[in-house]
Structure 1
Amino acid sequence: MDVPRLRRAPPPFPPHPPQPPQHRTDREQRTEEPVLKADPSAQLKLLDVQELDSRLDALRHQASHPPEGPVLRDLESSRAALRDQAADLQIQVDDLTRAQRKADDDVEQVKGRKVRDQKRLDSGQVTNPKDLERLQHELVSLDRRIGELEDTELEIMAHLEDAQRDLAEVQAHLVEQDAKAQELDATRLERLGGLRAEGGEVVARRKEVAATLPADLLALYERLREQKNGVGAALLRQRRCGGCSLELNSGDLAVVSKQPADDVVRCEECGRILVRTEESGLR
């Protein structure tokens, strides 16, 4: 006898979906980190390093955003338009020059034919009255054709002179713009050289000061500086963080004031290293 198989009853509620990992706040992460120790004098030197790093950031910004930059970009756009205009005008001048040369050749060709016909007429070689009349009509027709061709040539020459004048004006303007751009670029390069020279001095000074700091303090500062828009350490002055400019509340001030002088204090708001001095307002 077959025994019926029992079906497992479905659970009364669907299982909970897997929960995403909880992201810890900066404050929660800091509470789990061991308190870093550093001599107060080293913490003060850290502010010197921060000042030098901020100066380097400012120098890099000035080098990548020179005041001449917008003017040079506008000049380059203007020069590009002038070069295109000059190229179009040069093509027009070349075409008109060829047209004038052809018109001049056409005039000379018809004039040569007239000279030959006139010589035949003057030589008396044509004695047949009909031939003589035909030759005289041809000479009249050639005179008329020469006049038409010369008018066309004069018109082409007028257009050519206009195009040459326009081309000369555009080229003169382009030369003026090129000179201005070269002058501005020379100023930019001179400024850039000064910035690089100062940057080299700041880098050397920064290396010298950083070499006196504990490795763990410098490593923390570098990490925070990368995370906090270039500012890893700030002075606590009059109960206010120099990094985020926020004033510490009474509870945080009480905690900070009780910490030993060699504790590396962090701002509870922005997480930057806070360097305490007599100006901090903790007493």
Structure 2
Amino acid sequence: MKADPAVQRRLLELADIDAELARVDHRRRTLPELDEIAAAEQAVRTKRDAQVATDTALADLDREVKRQEKEIDAVRAREDRDRALLADGSVSAKQLTDLEHELETLKRRQSTLEDELLDIMERREAVELDSQHAGVELAKAEEALADAARRRDDALADLDTTQARRDAERGGLVGEFPEPLLGLYERVRRNKGIGAALLRARRCGACRIELDRSAISRISGTAADEVVTCEECGAIMVRTAESGL
């Protein structure tokens, strides 16, 4: 295949653009913020689970408090009724004894219920503190996630700008190459990653392998407009005064 040496040298500009586009793609896939976000999302899930657990425990204790208070109110109502009967004076001696016994029982029951309520309230206070702490930790985790997402978005925006610019440059450049040369370049680039590179100091700029004497001799005897490729990696080797031929 033949191509004007000046056109071949332009392949180096195309290769530089493609190299940067490849770096942009690699950078987009390996942004450190992506790992940060994954870790932050896991932290948010963990903190949210903790928040839900404490909120559920708090709700359970609130229901227990209401149940306990309702039972205490029932005991007090029963006590008030019995005292009203005693004050009425219309009960028999046996009923009087039974009422007095029941009042003692109600008194002990109320004391027990109030002690239990106090214990529940103390537990509720501790759980409420845990819930508040869980809320603070969740807010911190969510802020860390939002911060990582903002930094990722900023980095992606920069990469998108670079890609758009380089895509535009590439679009304007590829039309300068004859189809056979461009086709060869694209095939090699798809298979090997680098389509063309400078032959510098007898070394292929794509695979960095130094050519042996026979290869150098062969290339030296090749016309300047002949397209030569690396026997090792297949990349188009662009010859200039730096090639050492």
Do the two structures share a fold, i.e. TM-score over 0.5? yes
Q: How big is the shift at 1:163?
A: 1.5
Deviation at 1:259, TM superposition (A): 0.1
Task: Please report the TM-score for the alignment, with normalisation by the length of structure 2.
Answer: 0.97
- Equivalent residue letter for 1:277: T
CA RMSD of aligned residues (A): 1.0
Give the one of 40, 44, 60 matched to 2:25.
60
Do residues 234 (structure 1) and 180 (structure 2) align?
A: no
Matched, 1:177 2:141: yes
Q: Which amino acid aligns with 1:163?
A: V
For 1:184 and 1:246, locate their aligned partners in 2 and report how far apart those are by CA, in whole Å. Answer: 41
Q: Residue 67 of structure 1: CA displacement?
A: 2.1
1:159 aligns with 2:123: yes
Residue of structure 2 aligned with 1:224, choices 177, 184, 188: 188
Aligned to 2:56: 91
Q: Which has the larger radius of gyration?
A: 1
Residue equivalent to 1:115: 80
Report how far residue 42 of structure 1 moved: 0.7
What secondary structure does 2:237 align onto?
A: strand
Q: How many residues align?
A: 245
SS in structure 1 opposite 2:233?
coil
Q: Greater shift after overlay, 219-228 or 157-166? A: 157-166
Q: Percent identity?
A: 36
- Residue in structure 2 matched with residue 38 of structure 1 by the alignment: 3
CA distance in 2 between partners of 1:225 and 1:166 (Å) = 59
SS of the equivalent of 1:269 reads: coil
Cα displacement (A) at 1:102: 0.4
TM-score (norm 1): 0.84
Unaligned runs of 5+ in 1: 1-35
The structural deviation recorded for 1:186 is 1.2
Give the counterpart letter for 1:278 in structure 2: A
**8 Å CA contact 2:17, 2:166 repeated in 1:** yes
Which amino acid counterpart does residue 239 of structure 1 have in structure 2?
R
The structure 1 segments of at least 4 consecutive aligned residues displaced by more than 6 Å after TM superposition are none
Q: Which amino acid aligns with 1:46?
A: L
Deviation of the 1:123 alpha carbon: 2.4
* 1:96 to partner: Cα distance: 1.2
Q: Decide which structure has greater helix share.
A: 2
